[in-house]
Structure 1
Amino acid sequence: MSHVVQIETQVRDATAVRAGCSRLGLDEPVEGEVRLFSETVMGLAVQLREWRFPVVFDLSTGKSRFDNYQGHWGKRERLDEFLQAYAVEKTKIEARRKGYSVVEQMLADGSIKLALSVGAST
């Protein structure tokens, strides 16, 4: 039986953040205090392509902080791209932890289909 799931992404897993960065060819995330335009925040910082300031994730709450100046300092699509990569990597980590195999398929519209099944991990 097939199940379709929609996920609201909360970023809480540093391993999945690193895997998402690697997947997109981004620099390794940096933990610590980060200066955004008008404030300083703590968390795991990811520098997205073509963004002036990084996105900073508070792994304890799952929330993100960023200043892209309403798209002038970074397009929202780049953040969405990272959140998709994070969600895929987190799903794969958890599925494999439970012994499921995972098959990934990129769809024409840019979405990613993951098929999980009981069996040896791949």
Structure 2
Amino acid sequence: MSHIVQIQTEIRDPAAIHAACQRLQLPPPVQGKTRLFSSTATGWAVQLPRWRYPVVCNVKTAQLSYDNFEGRWGDRRELDRFLQGYAVEKAKIEARKQGHTVREQPLENGSIKLSIQVGGAA
């Protein structure tokens, strides 16, 4: 039986943040207090390509803090790529915890299709 699911993502899992960074070939995230343009934020700092300041993920509140100066200091598409990568990695982590097999397929429109086989059989 097949089911299609849409996922609304909250950034709450440090392991999935790390996996998303690896997936996108980003530097490893750094835990701590991070300076943004005119403020600071505490959490996991992720440095996106060509962003002046990192995105900071507070896993306790699921809040993201960043300053991209309305796109002048960082392209929103890079943040969207990170959020998509996080969602995929988090779904894979949770499926595997339950003993399921996961297969991933990139689609032409930029979406990613995950097929999860219950029971681990491929």
- TM class by shorter-chain length? over 0.9
Residue identity in the other structure for 1:26:
L
In the alignment, does 2:5 pair up with 1:5?
A: yes
Q: Structure 2: which 5+ runs fail to align? A: none
**Correspondence for 1:43:** 43
The alpha-carbon deviation at position 64 of structure 1 amounts to: 0.4
| Count of residues in correspondence between the two structures | 122
Q: Is the 8 A contact 1:95 1:102 kept in 2?
A: yes
1 CA distance for matches of 2:121 and 2:14?
Answer: 21
Query: What TM-score comes out, normalization by structure 1 length?
Result: 0.96
Distance (Å, rounded) in 2 between the aligned partners of 1:44 and 1:16:
11
Identity in percent: 55
Q: TM-score, normalised by structure 2?
A: 0.96
Please name the residue that 2:92 is paired with. 92
Shift of 1:119: 2.5
**Match in the other structure for 1:61:** 61
Distance 1:51 1:24 in 2: 14
Q: How far apart are residue 38 of structure 1 and its match?
A: 0.5
Q: Which amino acid aligns with 1:21?
A: C
4+ long deviations beyond 4 Å: none
| 1:33 is aligned to 2:33 | yes
Aligned mates of 2:96, 2:16 — CA distance in 1? 13
Q: Is the 8 A contact 1:100 1:120 kept in 2?
A: yes
Q: Distance in 2 between matches of 1:99 and 1:5?
A: 19
Report which stretch shifted further, 3-12 or 21-30.
3-12
The residue identity in structure 2 corresponding to 1:11 is I
CA apart distance, 1:121: 7.1
C-alpha displacement of 1:120 = 2.5
